[in-house]
């Protein structure tokens, strides 16, 4: 591991955040609100909550992929149509204090929205966003980042990483964008010492060892694809209510719908979050629905994340093990358990990964 970083007190990194705010950057960070930890725009560094409270209630993906956003504005003038693109928001934003699983989740959104033909509004926001994540000091019961290739101090998707120490932090630089965000500050900070890095390694290893859920190897994907027609999916998916909570709280879910909101003369074409759990997600205008039952929709969610996506993205799962869907599913559906059960059911014992 390259050890480039500074040893900061709590006061020092908050001073740096204050300077970012004074420089006109938008700062988005976890804030305690009525016992919930939520990502909010902050006006002062002291609003940010980075104590050992685990992850925020839902992921920060809405700051790159909004819940709802206008794609274009239309006006009809007789047989003519005027189209206007909404003005792009070019303000610089800094996401501070997201956990490594959330940063990794945002990198999955990059895989989806920054393909050869980039999604313009996502690409624009991403260009103006710097990500400062926060390593975990403890694992929550639902966490399973290590089971899907992540780590409580993982670096994927982050530009800078705050690593907790008993009496302060190491701010680790990961990308040129991260380096740019601390330019001018490095001269007044102390470089982290070898013993500081060693202590953060010990912490990482202790948190990793506390995660109980077993690793899901990339081979599970093949086994899962084989499970497509297995009757087990009926019983696994029957409990699903189709509420869509799992998709909305997930840092890597990217389903959306596009609707025109307006009247016969003018309106706005909007993109809004959607979920493959909803019955109307795949409903055709003809009335045909290729995923007509809740089990078939639940199977799609799991196979997309653990079989189809890894197949197209060098084995990376489209799940980063944040565990929010386990924590918040109203009927207690556990995606890690589902993958293990379905993959095992579809493979003879001697071939199980």
Q: Which residues bind ligand SF4 (CB under 6 A)?
A: 105, 240-246, 249-252, 277, 305, 319-325, 329-331, 333, 335
Least distance CB 101 / ligand SF4 (angstroms): 7
- Kindly tell me which of 242 and 262 has the beta carbon lying closer to ligand SF4: 242
- Is residue 317 within 8 Å of residue 148, measured between CB atoms? yes
Q: Count CB-CB contacts under 10 A for residue 2.
A: 8
Task: State how far the Cα of 136 lies from the Cα of 131, in Å rounded to an integer.
Answer: 16
- Kindly tell me which of 135 and 325 has the beta carbon lying closer to ligand SF4: 325
Task: State how far the Cα of 28 lies from the Cα of 98, in Å rounded to an integer.
Answer: 9
Least distance CB 301 / ligand SF4 (angstroms): 7
- Kindly tell me which of 18 and 140 has the beta carbon lying closer to ligand SF4: 140
Contacts of 240 (CB under 8 A, 6+ apart): 277, 294, 295, 297, 298, 331, 333
Torsion on CA atoms 322, 328, 331, 336, rounded to nearest 10? 0
- Kindly tell me which of 122 and 248 has the beta carbon lying closer to ligand SF4: 248
- Kindly tell me which of 20 and 250 has the beta carbon lying closer to ligand SF4: 250
- Per the structure block, which two tokens stand in for 90? 């070019």
Least distance CB 69 / ligand SF4 (angstroms): 21
Least distance CB 26 / ligand SF4 (angstroms): 25
- Is residue 48 within 8 Å of residue 97, measured between CB atoms? yes
Least distance CB 200 / ligand SF4 (angstroms): 24
Q: Beta strands of the chain (E only): which ranges?
A: 5-8, 26-33, 36-42, 68-77, 80-84, 93-98, 129-134, 160-165, 168-173, 190-191, 256-262, 266-273
- Is residue 162 within 8 Å of residue 191, measured between CB atoms? no
Least distance CB 222 / ligand SF4 (angstroms): 20
- Kindly tell me which of 135 and 320 has the beta carbon lying closer to ligand SF4: 320
Task: State how far the Cα of 54 lies from the Cα of 199, in Å rounded to an integer.
Answer: 20
């Amino acid at each position: 591991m390259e050890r480039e970083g500074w040893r900061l007190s709590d006061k020092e990194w908050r001073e740096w955040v204050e300077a970012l705010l004074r420089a006109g950057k938008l700062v988005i960070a976890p804030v305690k609100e009525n016992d919930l930890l939520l990502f909010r725009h902050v006006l002062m560094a002291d609003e940010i909550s980075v104590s050992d409270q685990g992850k925020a209630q839902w992921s920060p993906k809405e700051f790159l992929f909004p819940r709802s956003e206008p794609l274009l504005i239309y006006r009809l003038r007789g047989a003519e149509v005027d189209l206007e693109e909404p003005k792009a928001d070019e303000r610089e934003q800094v996401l501070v204090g997201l956990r490594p699983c959330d940063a990794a989740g945002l990198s999955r959104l990059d895989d989806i929205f920054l393909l050869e033909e980039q999604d313009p509004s996502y690409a624009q926001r991403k260009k103006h966003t710097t990500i400062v994540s926060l390593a975990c000091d403890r694992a929550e019961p639902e966490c399973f980042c290590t089971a899907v290739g992540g780590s409580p101090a993982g670096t994927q998707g982050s530009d800078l990483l705050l690593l907790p120490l008993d009496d302060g932090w190491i701010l680790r630089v990961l990308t040129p964008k991260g380096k740019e965000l601390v330019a001018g500050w490095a001269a007044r900070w102390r470089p982290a010492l070898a013993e500081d890095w060693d202590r953060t390694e010990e912490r990482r290893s202790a948190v990793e060892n506390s995660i109980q859920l077993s690793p899901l190897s990339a081979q599970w994907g093949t086994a899962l694809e084989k499970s497509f027609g297995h009757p087990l999916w009926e019983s696994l998916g029957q409990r699903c209510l189709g509420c869509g909570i799992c998709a909305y709280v997930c840092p890597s879910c990217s389903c959306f719908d596009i609707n025109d909101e307006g009247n016969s003369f003018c309106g706005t074409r909007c993109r809004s979050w959607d979920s493959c759990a909803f019955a109307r997600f795949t409903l055709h205008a003809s009335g045909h629905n290729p995923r007509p039952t809740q089990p078939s929709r639940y199977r799609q969610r799991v196979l997309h994340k653990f079989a189809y996506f890894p197949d197209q993205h060098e084995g990376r799962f489209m799940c980063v093990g944040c565990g929010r869907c386990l924590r918040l599913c109203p009927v207690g559906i556990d995606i890690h358990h589902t993958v293990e059960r379905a993959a095992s059911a579809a493979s003879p014992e001697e071939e199980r990964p």
